[in-house]
Structure 1
Amino acid sequence: METLWYLAKLALALVLGMGSAQLLGKERFTRVSAYAQTCLVWLLLFFMGVNTGGIDGITSQFRTIGITALLITFFAVAGTILVSLLFSFILTPSLRSEHIAIAKRKEQSFIRRLYDIIKEPLILVSIVILGLLLRLGTDAFSWFESSLVTYLLYVLLFFVGMGMVHRKIRFKGVFADKSIFFLPLYTILGTYVGALGVFLFTPYTLSQVIGMLSGFGWYSLSGILITDLGYPVLGSISFLSNLMRESVSFFLIPLFGRLGKRYYYPAVCTAGATSMDVTLVLLSSHFGMRTMVGSIYHGVIMSLVAPLLIPLFF
């Protein structure tokens, strides 16, 4: 019952944000909403580091956290690729759909592409590490209460809801195209198939592994949410794993783009929730602009289900 009430409050925050944007006007407060989301994510990640630093014996677990995050990332991505390819052959055996096209693209230098890939992840990881070090090395956050994270999370989801309305996303035609409509299902199923492999090589329960993977690339939310649920170590693993998933997708999307139309499905499913924003340009540049609606639809659905699925497994 407690989990359902928690889910209801998260959903309510999201719906209130969407309703507020509708009432205030879709063109108003767009920048405010975007800046608020960025600032809140940074603040929440900082406090996530602070919270993790307060765990007894946490310094002895750093190596385990990193190895586990790498392991579950590998299995989640592998499962997603296999399942999305399998279902693409079942539902569209001849790939007659015309919405996918291998687009011509201008190649950037390796240094520039590498910089674009690592810039944001480095900033976010640095914020978490800063909070962790300040908690471990000083008494500045002896006042900290984990309940603060809960309230900030509600505010973040409120602005996420506003942002969804501001994007003016329309899914006309998506529901008639089964190959696109079922993309989120491929991602969820493939990720959870990968979780079965992780379960065999780690001490965590299958439920915990699935919960950690249920961010689907939305690393900031997954880490914060799991930490808020009372599992700061698992929150740190989930944060790193979903961050790695996004980073890996930057390398895999161009590769899939060179392999052909069929590989749009594993490309967008590997990207997870980021297919509507961070990896959207990369997906459209390698598979054609007409895939943009499908990529946005997939990312929006994954972003909606992530905060609802994660609490179910803890």
Structure 2
Amino acid sequence: MDTLIYLGKLAAALVGGMLLARHVVSRKFSRQASIAQSFFVWTLLFFMGVNTGSIEGILSKLGSIGFSALACTVFGILGTVILSLGASRLFNRGSQKLTIAIAPRKEGSLLRKFWDIFKEPLFLVGIVLSGMVLRLTTPLFSWFESSFVSYLLYAMLACVGMGLVYQNISLKGMVSDKKLLLLPLFTIAGSYLGSLLVPLVTTFTIKESMGIVSGFGWYSLSGIMITDLGYPVLGSVSFVSNLLRESFAFFLIPFFGRLGKQYYYPAVCTAGATSMDVTLPLLSSRFGSVTVVGSIYHGVVMSLVSPLLIPLFF
């Protein structure tokens, strides 16, 4: 019952934001809503670090958090790629020729390209670490209670709902290719399939492993939700794991693009929830503008199901 109430509050925040944007707040405030969403994400990540810093003996656990997050990422992506690639071969048999879609080269040093890929993840990790360090070294946040995170989370989801309205994202009639409707299913099933291997190299149970990968690349939500549910260490692992998933996608999408356009399924499924925003330009440039609608649909569905699935495992 507690899980259903929690899900209801999350859904109410998301729908409330959509209704607010549609009937109350003018469309000209879309930029302000986007800025507010970023503010709440950064604030939530900071307090997630504060909450993590309050865990007894957390410094001795940082190494295991990093390793566990990497294991969840690698196995989750591996399961996703295997399942989606198999589905692609099954559904698109004979419909596509083996063509090599060479990714366009951009000017600039290798170091600059790596910096462009990693600067945002490093910034976000820095926010979490700053909150944790301040909690460990100063008394500034002795007043902090983990329940405060819930209210920030609801505010962030309301901004997400407003963003869906401002971007005119609608699931109705979004994809003409009916086979693409199954893409989110491949991502979910593949991620969970891979998570079955996580307990082989970590101390997590299968249930915990599935909960960790249920962010599907939406690191800000997954880490915060799991922390809010009373599992700060698992929340930290989930945050890092889903952040790594987005970073891995920046490398894997161009790789799949070079192999051929028939590798669109594993590319978009690897991207997870990010296929509708940060990795969308990569997917479009490597697999053609015709895939944009399918990528957006996939990302929207993954973003909607993630907050519904995560609480089911905790």
CA distance in 1, matches of 2:66, 2:15: 35
User: CA-to-partner distance for each residue in 1:144-173, whole Å, 9 max, x for gaps?
Assistant: 011110000000000000001111124565
Q: 1:49-88 counterparts in 2 under 5 A?
A: 49-88=49-88
Does residue 13 (structure 1) correspond to residue 25 (structure 2)? The answer is no
* Cα displacement (A) at 1:42: 0.4
* Cα displacement (A) at 1:103: 7.5
Matched residue, 1:105: 104
Distance 1:262 1:10, change over 3 A: same
Distance 1:176 1:26, change over 3 A: farther
Decide whether the 8 Å contact of 1:92 with 1:179 is kept in 2.
no
Matched residue, 2:30: 30
User: CA-to-partner distance for each residue in 1:118-147, whole Å, 9 max, x for gaps?
Assistant: 111011000000000000001110000111
Matched residue, 1:133: 133
Matched residue, 2:212: 212
Q: TM-score, normalising length from structure 2?
A: 0.95
Question: Equivalent pairs: percent with the same residue?
Answer: 59
Which range moves more in the overlay, 83-92 or 269-278? 83-92
| CA RMSD between the two structures | 1.8
CA distance in 2, matches of 1:203, 1:18: 40
User: CA-to-partner distance for each residue in 1:257-283, whole Å, 9 max, x for gaps?
Assistant: 000011111111001001111101111
Aligned to 1:139, what secondary structure does the other structure show? Answer: coil
One-letter amino acid of the counterpart of residue 227, structure 2: T
Decide whether the 8 Å contact of 1:218 with 1:273 is kept in 2.
yes
* Cα displacement (A) at 1:80: 0.5
Aligned to 1:310, what secondary structure does the other structure show? Answer: helix
Gaps of 5+ in 1: none
* Cα displacement (A) at 1:179: 2.5
Which range moves more in the overlay, 116-125 or 169-178? 169-178
* Cα displacement (A) at 1:94: 1.9
Decide whether the 8 Å contact of 1:186 with 1:269 is kept in 2.
yes
Decide whether the 8 Å contact of 1:103 with 1:288 is kept in 2.
no
Distance 1:313 1:108, change over 3 A: farther
Aligned to 1:182, what secondary structure does the other structure show? Answer: helix
* Cα displacement (A) at 1:29: 1.4
Gaps of 5+ in 2: none
User: CA-to-partner distance for each residue in 1:232-251, whole Å, 9 max, x for gaps?
Assistant: 00000000000000000000
* Cα displacement (A) at 1:213: 0.3
Distance 1:25 1:177, change over 3 A: farther
Q: 1:118-267 counterparts in 2 under 5 A?
A: 118-171=118-171, 173-267=173-267
Distance 1:54 1:111, change over 3 A: same
Matched residue, 1:290: 290
* Cα displacement (A) at 1:178: 2.7
Does residue 44 (structure 1) correspond to residue 54 (structure 2)? The answer is no
CA distance in 1, matches of 2:178, 2:63: 43
Aligned to 2:197, what secondary structure does the other structure show? Answer: helix
* Cα displacement (A) at 1:89: 1.4
One-letter amino acid of the counterpart of residue 311, structure 2: P
* Cα displacement (A) at 1:96: 4.9
* Cα displacement (A) at 1:105: 2.9
Matched residue, 1:299: 299
One-letter amino acid of the counterpart of residue 196, structure 1: L
